[in-house]
Structure formats: structure tokens, C-alpha cells
């Protein structure tokens, strides 16, 4: 599944430079000329990176929305401004990266390519895959509980549990995913639970090898679950619904 960027600028030169670099990096782009457009996009969907022109009218509001939206607040933020612009922006928000005017292809390529791992981490954290798989919980009092997953994300899992779990409880999760050769083990804490027997766990300790296995599995599942169709001569793709991994599903 390709990464997705949100670009806010009315500067045609910047748009040409950014389009070229993002296309070469395989990153999708949503271009907004006005702050109202960008705000509407952020309400509808997740973005893996935000690229905002400090000179764009209303940019401060969009920066604030990007940093507070549950689905995009971890996305790297690029701000485009004058050469002497500081990391602490005029809008009181600290940027992850600064791109200075005049923007060269080399500067944009180097900065965006370097931030790609952070973008990928953001994408995997917020996409969850619905799957029913067996899991084992090792609780702090020594009990072993067998449960079923409802969905899986890189940041945690949703479970069906026939017993109460207390928010904040820490435990060990062992999970065997379909078509995954290894058992994934993680330290986790209960992020939420309800009276219907649903609960969400947030990973607080996950070995690098297990994280790589989990992200590879999620990426493969998301690609296989895309549904393509043609409408008015254009190819459209329906993708899985995006929900923050540590919050209850609707």
C-alpha cells in the first residue's frame, strides 16, 4: 500500500518540485491550495506525511489539526519557509523537517527519502487488519488465558475476551497469525475494555524481529484486501477502514 502525503501550497513552482520528488519516491499526493481543503482532507482520511507551505493562508490551523488528529499526529511534518526559518515555527509548533526556499529537487529528495522510515512506521501504526486468530495472554498473577483476536495493528490488537480485563493491566501476548511462520510475542497493556467482552491491547514492548514480522504481515494483508474497480474510466481503490489501534472499534 503506497504512502500518502498531504501538500498545502498555492505556489506552482513548489508543486512542480514536490510532485516530481513524491512521484519518484512512490508516495501518493493530495494537493490542497487552500487551508479549508486540507482541513477537510484530514477529517476524512489518514496521511503519512504533511508538507505545508508557511506562506499559505491558514497554514497554522492545518498544522494544529495535523498535530492533534488521532490518525495523523505521528506523521512527520515538513514546513517550507525562508532560509532563516527556525524549527520552532511561527505557529508555535515544532516541525520535524524544514525545507527552505528556493526549494531544489535535491533538497526535497534528500529530506523526504530520509523521512520514509518514519512515514512507514506511521502507516503501519494506524492501519488495523480484521482477523480472527488464536492468542494467549500470560497475566501477572501467573494465569494463562486463551482468547481470539478481532483485529491486529502494529501498535496493538483488539481481542474478544470472555473475562474482565482492567485498563492499565500489563501482560504478555503470544500471537500466531495466519500464514505467519513465527509466533509473535509482546509485552502489552490493556488500553480499553467493555462489558461486551471486547478489549484493546497496546504494545509496550515488542522485539525488533517481531515488529518486522508483524509489519510485513500487515502490509501483505492490506495489499491483498484492496478492491479495485473502474468508474468513469478511472481506476478506483477501496481500502480497509482506518481506526487508531488503541481505541475501540465503532
- Residue of 36 and 226 predicted with greater confidence: 36
Is the bond preceding 102 in cis, omega lying within 30 degrees of 0? Answer: yes
180 contacts: CB under 8 Å, gap ≥ 6: 213, 217
pLDDT score, position 214: 87
Q: Measure Cα distances from 66 to 90, 164, 212 in Å.
A: 16, 35, 27
Using alpha carbons only, give the angle 199, 203, 204 rounded to the nearest 5 degrees.
130
CA 10 to chain centre: 26
Q: Are 28 and 46 in contact (CB under 8 A)?
A: no
pLDDT score, position 225: 61
Which residues in 9-83 belong to E strands, given as ranges? 28-32, 49-53, 77-81
Average pLDDT score over residue span 182-191: 92
Per-residue pLDDT band at 241 (split at 50, 70, 90): very low
What domains appear along the chain, each with residue ranges and CATH number?
4-126 (3.40.50.2300), 129-238 (2.40.10.220)
Percentages helix, strand, coil for the chain (3-state, rounded to 5) are 30, 35, 35
pTM listed for this prediction: 0.58
Average pLDDT score over residue span 132-136: 91
The answer on pLDDT for 120 being more than 70 is: yes
The answer on pLDDT for 236 being more than 60 is: no
pLDDT score, position 22: 93
Percent of the chain having pLDDT more than 90? 36
- pLDDT per position as a tens digit, 9-33: 999 999 999 999 999 998 999 999 9
Average pLDDT score over residue span 153-165: 89
- pLDDT per position as a tens digit, 68-116: 876 677 788 998 987 555 444 545 566 788 888 889 999 999 999 998 8
Range of weakest confidence among 25-34, 196-205, 226-235:
226-235
Which residue from 94, 155, 159 is spatially nearest to 123, judged by alpha carbons?
Answer: 155
Average pLDDT, the chain: 81
The answer on pLDDT for 249 being more than 50 is: no
Q: CA 175 to CA 150: how far, in whole Å? A: 12
pLDDT score, position 1: 55
pLDDT score, position 33: 94
Amino acid at each position: 500500500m503506497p504512502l500518502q502525503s498531504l501538500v498545502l501550497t498555492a505556489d506552482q513552482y513548489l508543486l512542480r518540485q514536490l510532485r516530481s520528488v513524491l512521484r519518484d519516491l512512490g508516495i501518493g499526493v493530495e494537493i490542497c491550495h487552500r487551508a479549508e481543503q486540507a482541513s477537510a482532507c484530514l477529517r476524512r482520511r489518514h496521511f503519512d506525511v504533511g508538507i505545508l507551505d508557511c506562506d499559505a493562508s491558514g497554514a497554522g490551523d492545518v498544522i494544529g489539526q495535523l498535530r492533534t488528529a488521532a490518525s495523523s499526529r505521528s506523521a512527520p511534518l515538513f514546513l517550507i519557509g525562508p532560509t532563516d526559518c527556525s524549527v520552532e515555527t511561527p505557529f508555535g509548533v515544532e516541525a520535524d523537517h524544514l525545507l527552505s526556499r528556493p526549494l531544489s529537487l535535491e533538497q526535497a529528495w534528500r529530506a523526504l527519502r530520509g523521512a520514509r522510515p518514519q512515514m512507514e512506521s506511521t502507516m503501519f501504526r494506524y492501519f488495523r487488519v480484521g482477523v480472527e486468530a488464536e492468542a494467549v495472554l500470560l497475566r501477572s498473577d501467573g494465569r494463562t488465558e486463551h482468547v481470539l483476536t478481532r483485529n491486529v495493528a502494529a501498535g496493538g490488537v483488539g481481542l474478544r475476551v470472555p473475562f474482565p480485563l482492567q485498563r492499565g493491566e500489563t501482560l504478555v501476548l503470544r500471537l500466531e497469525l495466519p500464514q505467519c511462520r513465527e509466533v509473535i510475542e509482546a509485552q502489552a497493556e490493556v488500553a480499553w475494555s467493555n462489558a461486551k467482552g471486547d478489549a484493546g491491547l497496546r504494545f509496550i514492548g515488542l522485539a525488533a524481529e517481531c515488529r518486522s514480522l508483524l509489519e510485513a504481515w500487515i502490509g501483505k494483508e492490506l495489499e491483498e484486501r484492496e478492491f479495485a474497480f473502474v468508474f468513469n474510466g478511472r481506476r478506483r481503490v477501496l481500502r480497509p477502514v482506518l481506526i487508531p489501534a488503541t481505541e475501540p472499534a465503532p
